[in-house]
Structure formats: structure tokens, C-alpha cells
Amino acid sequence: MVKWKSIIGLASVLLFGFLLYGAGTTGSDTTLFSQNYYLISIGAVNVQISTLVQTAQSNGYAIIVRSGDEVKRYRGDKPTDESEATLIACEHLLYVDDGQFLLRVNGEDYDYTVRPGGDQNYSLVIVPHRDLPLVDTLTKVMSSLQRLGIVGSEVNMEFKSFPQKAEKSPAPPEGVAIDSGLYALQVAPDWFTAASAAGIKRVGLRVEVIAEKLPGGQIPEEFRQYIESETDSLAKLLLPISDLVALAKSPAIGYLRPPYRPQPAVP
């Protein structure tokens, strides 16, 4: 993991990249390797969702806008009845879910995604298709995002890499009481594919989870809006994927897991 500190705004990231290059840094710090994907914290993003939707429409994106139970779908600026699965498969996607957004662009050399990263921050995900120079690639990605009006207001670049084709899922952080599949989902490069493959129920940018509460424990206030049902010991939530680890870290939570699914009887 590489931490880039004291960087304000996405534009400053570009400057830092050139300084890094000019300083003669070599090796893995200057290359995005094709066997990995990369998660980069970009802090809070200052963009009006309505403006972002309009910009994405003018650029021909597939767009899904979810607000409560209402869902609108577009191809560019034209409403469409196409399914969510069809639109999610498009190379240029904007998915809005009650004020949060995920923007994804699939390209020839790399794919990138901007998505919620928890605590009102956003993350940038880069999936290279071949070994790429870090500075040049980040310069192109950041420039593309700025043209869309996506600018980070306060960036503490926490750079994490994960293997694209790992034999085992990444282990949850030490001391975080979370199902390994849920943690793997939160750090997966593609939330939609990962949730489907794991059989986790997803609605928008949220997933259905069960929080096992410790005796006397309560769901923290910031997560109570996502509760669907609750008992003294359990709470069922439709929780933003970006908040899975944050809820599991709560001292009131003994374990965060997917709901148990009935299994067919073995004859």
C-alpha cells in the first residue's frame, strides 16, 4: 500500500504525479500492473448529481437513476425500457442511488470507476488491461473526470492494490467482524458482477445484510435509515456497499453477514 498525503484536489494529483516522475522514482511505484487492480481514495467529490446526470446524458452514457422506489433509465438523453442488466453491461455507465453515484468507463487499455468509498468520500478504481505507466494513466483518468465535473475536494491518496484473479478472497481487516464475502464485495473492482456471483441481494448501490448485535447493542444512528427490520439481537439492513466495513467496525456489532438462504433438502 502506498499513501500519498497532503494533496488537495484532483488537479493537485496530476502535479504530484509529475513531481514523482521527475524525482526519478522507479519500479512498482511507477507502474500499474495488469495482474492487479487499484483502489485510490479521492476524498469528497464536489458535484451536483443533477448536473452530472445531464453531462453523462450529453456524452451518451447508459444511466440509471434510483430515488426511493422510483427508477429511471436512459441511453444518453433518451428514456429507455431496457433492463438494468443491459445498461450495467454498457461501456459508459452512470448509476445514481439516492444521492450517491457510481460512474464507470471501460476502455481498451484500462477500466476506471468512481464510486462511494464510505464516510461521504469516493474511491477511484483502476483496472489495467496491460502494464501501464502510473503517472500517464492517472493524468488521463483525472482529466476525463474533470471534464465530467468530478473533482475531489480533499484527497489523501491511499493506494491499495489487489490481484485481479486471486485464488482466495482478500481477508477482512484484522478485528473487523465481517463476513469475508461481504468484505470481498466492498473491495471488488465491479460491485455488480461481484454481488451477482456471490448471490448477495443488491438494490442499486446497496446490499441486504444481517447485523448480529452484541447484548444491549444498537445500530449506530448513521445507519438506522437503512434498517428494514429489527429484533433485540438482529437487524436486517439494505446497506450501501461502501459502508459494509464501517458498520462492522461498530462496537455494538458482533458480526455482519449476508442473510441465511434456505437450502434445498438433499434427497
3-state secondary structure 116-183: EEECCEEEEEEEECCCEEHHHHHHHHHHHHHHCCCCECCEEEEEEEEECCCCCCCCCCCCCCECHHHH
DSSP the chain: -EEEEEE-SHHHHHHHHHHHHHTT--GGGGEE-TTEEEEEEEE-B---HHHHHHHHHHTT-EEEEEETTEEEEEETTEE----HHHHHTSSEEEEEETTEEEEEEE-SSEEEEEEEEETTEEEEEEEESS-EEHHHHHHHHHHHHHHTT--BSSEEEEEEEEETT-SSPPPPPTT--B-HHHHHHHH-S-HHHHHHHHT--EETTEEEEEEEEPTT----GGGGGGEEEE-SSEEEEEEEGGGHHHHHTSTTEEEEEPPP---PPP-
Identify the pLDDT of residue 158. 60
Identify the pLDDT of residue 122. 94
Mean pLDDT of 79-86: 98
Provide the angle, in degrees to the nearest 10, between the axes of the packed helices 134-147 and 10-22. Answer: 160
Nearest-angstrom CA–CA distance, 136 and 151:
18
pLDDT category at 30 given cuts 50, 70, 90 is confident
The owner of cell 456524452 is 59
pLDDT category at 262 given cuts 50, 70, 90 is low
Q: Which has more pLDDT, 2 or 184?
A: 184
Look at residues 63, 92, 93 and name the one whose alpha carbon lies nearest to residue 79: 63
**Domain spans of the chain, in order of start:** 1-165, 180-257
pLDDT category at 267 given cuts 50, 70, 90 is low
Look at residues 189, 192, 184, 187 and name the one whose alpha carbon lies nearest to residue 95: 192
Strand-pair partners of 163:
36
Of 4-18, 37-51, 221-235, 245-259, minimum mean pLDDT range: 4-18
Nearest-angstrom CA–CA distance, 17 and 11:
10
Of 6-15, 52-61, 225-234, 256-265, minimum mean pLDDT range: 6-15
Whether the Cβ atoms of residue 201 and residue 63 lie closer than 8 Å to each other:
no
Nearest-angstrom CA–CA distance, 263 and 267:
12
Judge whether residue 31 has pLDDT over 80: yes
Judge whether residue 6 has pLDDT over 90: no
Show the cell assigned to 223: 445507519
Q: Is the pTM of this model over 0.95?
A: no
Identify the pLDDT of residue 258. 96
Q: Which has more pLDDT, 193 or 44?
A: 193
Judge whether residue 217 has pLDDT over 60: yes
* Mean pLDDT for the chain overall: 87
Measured in degrees and rounded to the nearest 5, phi and psi for residue 214 equal -70, 155
Of 14-28, 122-136, 141-155, 201-215, minimum mean pLDDT range: 14-28
Judge whether residue 153 has pLDDT over 80: no
Mean pLDDT of 221-231: 96
pLDDT category at 165 given cuts 50, 70, 90 is confident
Identify the pLDDT of residue 15. 40
pLDDT category at 263 given cuts 50, 70, 90 is low
Judge whether residue 221 has pLDDT over 80: yes
